């Protein structure tokens, strides 16, 4: 008979080993699954690596994918640190993109630098407003934020769809309804072949690390996340902290939306978010809500997705394969947490052989 007891502490080395084992197991199980689809797993994985990092082009594509993921995950991690389950990243991205697109469409002749600056600020504001709404209800009446933020995603999605099919539809395009492309001035420039978002992302990683660990607000968010009673005792203004943290959270997501719309899609559409809002939750969680770790995890996840995209064309595997692989890795890492926190001990019989 076995018994489960809590571990007192675990060395960093052990916890890395356990996580690595989890990922390897995930890859093995996925390999079985790929084989069932009549695919050679080794070739598929090789293909994914190639697709993610194999050439300068694919490396750049991976980074481009990582940018919105990273920024959104940073935003989500602020909310999660406060135990505010912001599932609304997707909607906040879209609304940030929406507000900046407003400026892109209506002021095409504005010079590049002011226009882009306004667009990015608009992105921050758009996402922040979208996050403010659930934050307001939570701080006032304790409304369940998980569902409200989620519902807001759908509202945002329908809103963009409405614009895409209605008032903002590109009159010139035949057939499939879409919005017009941004003019040159509304498109973010590249640095080293990748849109400038990567510089913004790195700056944000540093800024968020400092914010969460070295500032008063970051401290207050951590205290509030631990216990509302303690925050109250410490004199923290709880309502204000929830709102500020959520404005920041949504703002970052909105900024990611702006970058995507401006530098990748060159327009506003429902594809701008592309599920990043949900994936970022996983990245934030895997990154233990810590900015530098989130940076690493974002790149790895982007590689997973980019590699998945590559094998789709190379091997004809359906897009959903990447989703399955993602969830496999996640299941195993979730499960591995158990082995990090607890250990299994054999129960002794009365004659007293102890096995610890």
Partner 1 sequence: MENKVPYVCMKNIKKIFGKVIANKNVNLTVEGGEVHALLGENGAGKSTLMNMLSGVYSPDFGEVLIHGKQVSFSSPKDAIESRIGMIYQHFKLVENMSAEENIMLGQKHKIFLSSSKVKKRVNEICSKYSLELDLDKKVYDMSVGEKQTLEILKVLYRGADILILDEPTTVFTPQEARKLFQIMNKMKENGCAVIFITHKMEEVMEISDRITVLRKGETVKTLNKIDTNPEELAELMVGHSVDLSIKRGEPKDNKVVLEVKGLTVLNEDNLEALSNINFNLKNGEILGVAGIANSGQRELCEAIAGIYPIKSGEIILEDENIAGKNPRDIIKKGISMSFVPEDRLGMGLVGSMDMVDNLLLKSYHNQDGFFIDKTPAVVKAKEITKKLKIQTPDVFYPIKNLSGGNIQKILLGRELDSNPHVLIMAYPVRGLDINTCYTIYDLMNEQKEKGVGVLFIGEDLDVLIQLCDRIMVMYNGKITGTVDAKNITKEKLGLLMVGKKSESEGKSVV
Partner 2 sequence: MESVVSFLAAAIVAGTPLLFATLGEIITERSGNLNLGVEGMMLMGAVIGFLMGLKTGNPVAAMAFAMVAGAFGGGIFAFLTVTLRANQVVSGLTLTIFGTGFSSLIGKSLVGQVTPPGVKSFFATAPIPGLSKIPVLGPILFNHDVFVYFGYVTAVLLGIYLYNTSKGLNLRAIGENPASADAASVNINLYKYAHILLGGALCGLGGAYLSLVYVPSWQDNVTAGRGWIAVALVIFAAWNPYKALIGAYLFGGLDIIGFRLQGSAFQVSQYLIDMLPYLVTIAVLVFVSFKKSKKNAPPKSLGVPYFREDR
- The residues binding partner 1 (CB under 8 A) are 1, 3, 5-9, 214-217, 219, 222-223, 226-227, 229-230, 232-235, 347-350, 352, 354, 356
- Which positions from 252 through 271 interact with partner 2, judged by CB under 8 A? none
CA distances (Å), origin 211, targets 35, 206, 214, 217, 298: 46, 9, 6, 7, 20
Report the alpha-carbon distance of residue 333 to residue 22 in Å, rounded. Answer: 6
The interface partner of residue 142, options being partner 1, partner 2, none and the CB cut-off 5 to 8 Å by kind, is partner 2
What are 171's two structure tokens? 């009159």
- Which positions from 307 through 326 interact with partner 2, judged by CB under 8 A? 318-324, 326
Query: Which C-beta is closer to partner 1: that of 170 or that of 228?
Result: 228
Q: Binders of partner 2: how many residues, by CB under 8 A?
A: 47
The interface partner of residue 144, options being partner 1, partner 2, none and the CB cut-off 5 to 8 Å by kind, is partner 2
| Minimal distance, residue 115 CB to partner 2, in Å | 28
| Minimal distance, residue 341 CB to partner 2, in Å | 8
Task: Give kind and range of the element (H or E) at residue 161.
Answer: helix 145-165
DSSP type of residue 289: T
Point out which span in 46-54, 198-206, 220-228, 335-343 binds partner 2 (CB under 8 A): 335-343
Query: Which C-beta is closer to partner 2: that of 16 or that of 147?
Result: 147
CA distances (Å), origin 41, targets 19, 37, 139, 265, 311: 21, 10, 49, 32, 11
Report the alpha-carbon distance of residue 149 to residue 317 in Å, rounded. Answer: 33
Point out which span in 59-67, 136-144, 197-205, 234-242 binds partner 2 (CB under 8 A): 136-144
Q: Binding of partner 2 at residue 151 (CB under 8 A)?
A: yes
349 backbone dihedrals φ, ψ, rounded to 5°: -85, 175
Angle between the 291-315 and 56-81 helix axes, to the nearest 10 degrees?
140
Q: Binding of partner 2 at residue 31 (CB under 8 A)?
A: no
């Amino acid at each position: 008979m076995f018994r489960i007891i809590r571990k007192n502490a675990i060395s960093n080395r052990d916890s890395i080993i356990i996580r690595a084992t989890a990922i390897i197991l995930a890859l093995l199980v996925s390999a079985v699954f790929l084989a069932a689809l009549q695919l050679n797993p080794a070739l598929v994985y090789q293909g994914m690596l190639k697709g993610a990092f194999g050439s300068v082009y694919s490396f750049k594509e991976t980074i481009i994918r990582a940018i919105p993921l990273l920024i959104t995950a940073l935003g989500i991690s602020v909310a999660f640190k406060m135990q505010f389950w912001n599932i609304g990243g997707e909607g906040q991205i879209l609304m940030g993109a929406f507000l900046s697109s407003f400026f892109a469409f209506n002021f095409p002749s504005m010079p590049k630098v002011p226009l882009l600056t306004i667009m990015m600020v608009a992105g921050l504001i758009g996402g922040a407003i979208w996050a403010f709404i659930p934050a307001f209800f939570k701080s006032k009446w304790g409304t369940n934020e998980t569902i409200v933020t989620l519902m807001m995603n759908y509202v945002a999605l329908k809103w963009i769809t409405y614009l895409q099919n209605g008032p903002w539809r590109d009159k010139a395009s035949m057939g499939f309804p879409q919005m017009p492309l941004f003019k040159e001035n509304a498109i973010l420039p590249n640095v080293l072949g990748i849109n400038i978002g990567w510089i913004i992302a790195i700056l944000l990683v540093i800024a968020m690390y400092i914010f969460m660990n070295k500032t008063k607000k970051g401290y207050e968010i951590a205290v509030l996340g631990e216990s509302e009673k303690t925050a109250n005792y410490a004199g923290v203004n709880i309502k204000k902290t929830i709102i500020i943290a959520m404005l920041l959270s949504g703002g970052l997501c909105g900024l990611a939306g702006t970058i995507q719309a401006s530098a990748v899609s060159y327009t506003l559409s429902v594809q701008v978010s592309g599920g990043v809002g949900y994936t970022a939750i996983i990245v934030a969680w895997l990154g233990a809500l810590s900015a530098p770790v989130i940076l690493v995890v974002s790149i790895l996840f982007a590689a997973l997705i980019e590699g998945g995209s590559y094998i789709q064309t190379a091997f004809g595997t359906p897009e959903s394969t990447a989703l399955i692989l993602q969830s496999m890795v996640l299941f195993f890492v979730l499960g591995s947490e158990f082995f990090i926190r607890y250990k299994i001990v054999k129960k002794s019989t009365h004659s007293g052989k102890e096995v610890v």
